[in-house]
Amino acid sequence: MPNKKAAIKSLRKDKKKHAKNKAVKSELRTLTKKARLLITDGKKNEAETLLRTLESKLDRAAKSHIIKKENAARKVSRLRTHFASASKSAS
């Protein structure tokens, strides 16, 4: 346990930040799984809307340094590529 007041406050802040970051990462993983499932099932319209929201959430997470910017860009790119190839093969 920290002894100084500032260290106690820092620990309290870190716990809150950790919980928030964990929730955001969990949500991103859930949305990614749902998007992949919709793409493989061929539900194009639903997948497109979910991809838009997922991109937005990934960008916001990267902006607030929850995940790295390159990580967000890579995930978006891979999902878009997967969506495009699934759309092309369905047509």
pLDDT value of residue 74: 98
The whole-number pLDDT of residue 87 equals 84
Residues with pLDDT less than 50, the chain: none
Which among 47, 72, 48, 69 has a CA at the least distance from the CA of 58? 72
pLDDT at residue 89, rounded to an integer = 80
Cβ burial of 68 (10 Å; 0-12, 13-18, 19+) is exposed
Q: What is the structure's pLDDT at 91?
A: 63
Give the pLDDT confidence score for residue 75 in this predicted structure: 97
**How many other C-beta atoms are found inside a 10 Å radius of the C-beta of residue 86?**
18
- Threshold 0.85, pTM exceeds: yes
Residues with Cβ within 8 Å of residue 42, at least 6 apart in sequence: 86, 90
pLDDT of residue 70: 98
Contact 47, 54 (CB under 8 A): no
pLDDT at 85: 94
Q: Kindly state the tokens that stand for 50.
A: 């979910």
